[in-house]
Copies of this chain bind each other. A is one copy, B any other.
Amino acid sequence: MKKRGKGQLIVLSGPSGVGKSTVIAELFSQRENIYFSISYTTRQPRVGEQNGVNYHFVTREEFEGMIARQELLEHAEYVGNYYGTSQKVIDEKLEAGIDVLLDIEVKGAAKVRARRPDALFIFVIPPSFEELSRRLHARNTDSEDVIQGRLEKAREEFSQIPNYDYLVINDKVSNAVEEISAILKASECKVANRETIYKGVFAL
């Protein structure tokens, strides 16, 4: 019996340092039929970045073409460069029954919410603010000023939590992954997502 219909659109946000990338990597290692949406950008690749892995690197003309053809779910311009998410790719995956995960900051998420209120909006928090600070320091990549800036930004982002559906606590990667998996499974069980099944089974 086929229990799944279309894929689910998942929007994941959370402050820098919360450990989202590790959680996503672990989630993807455990699940099938889930696709990580890779953003498009007009900025130059940094050393080590690969086209189609970190970003889809495109020209300004190509990006503006996507805007004109309304192929983008959301886009923004930062420091003279475009960043955006392809609606077209997402829709193709969802239609094929594949879940699509967007790792996106709160402003982009708000734009997605306006167009796709049916998506699952998940915000990842650390167990405490002190722990977030500790994780940012442990990375050993940023100056104290940059870290303080990230913590300040985190506070702003937390104020957007009420706009999300779910709050996942990354006290331990395995716990956070378990919570996200439960959210995805529960969503599959929503009556709206199983309409085809019960109407088929009971010839309603």
Task: Name A residues whose Cβ lies closer than 8 Å to a Cβ of B.
Answer: 1, 3, 123, 125-129, 155, 158-159, 161-162, 164-169, 171, 178-179, 181-183, 185-187, 189-191, 194, 197-198, 201-204
Contacts and interface: CB of A to CB of B under 8 A. Distances in A.
A69 to B, nearest CB: 35
A189 B201 contact: no
Copies of this polypeptide in the complex = 2
Contacts of A129: 201-203
Nearest to A128: B201
Given A129-B201, A161-B198, A166 B183 contact: no
Nearest to A180: B189
17 contacts: A1-B169, A3-B169, A125-B202, A126-B201, A128-B201, A129-B202, A158-B202, A161-B198, A164-B191, A166-B186, A167-B190, A167-B194, A167-B198, A168-B189, A179-B185, A182-B182, A186-B187
A22 B171 CA distance: 34
Given A125-B198, A185-B179, A190 B166 contact: yes
Most buried by B among A123, A164, A185, A187: A185
Given A129-B201, A186-B183, A204-B159, A123 B166 contact: no
A127 B123 CA distance: 34
The 3 A-B pairs of least Cβ separation, nearest first, read A186-B186, A182-B185, A182-B182
Nearest to A193: B167
Contact of A185 (B128, B165, B186): B186
Contact of A165 (B1, B178, B191, B203): B191
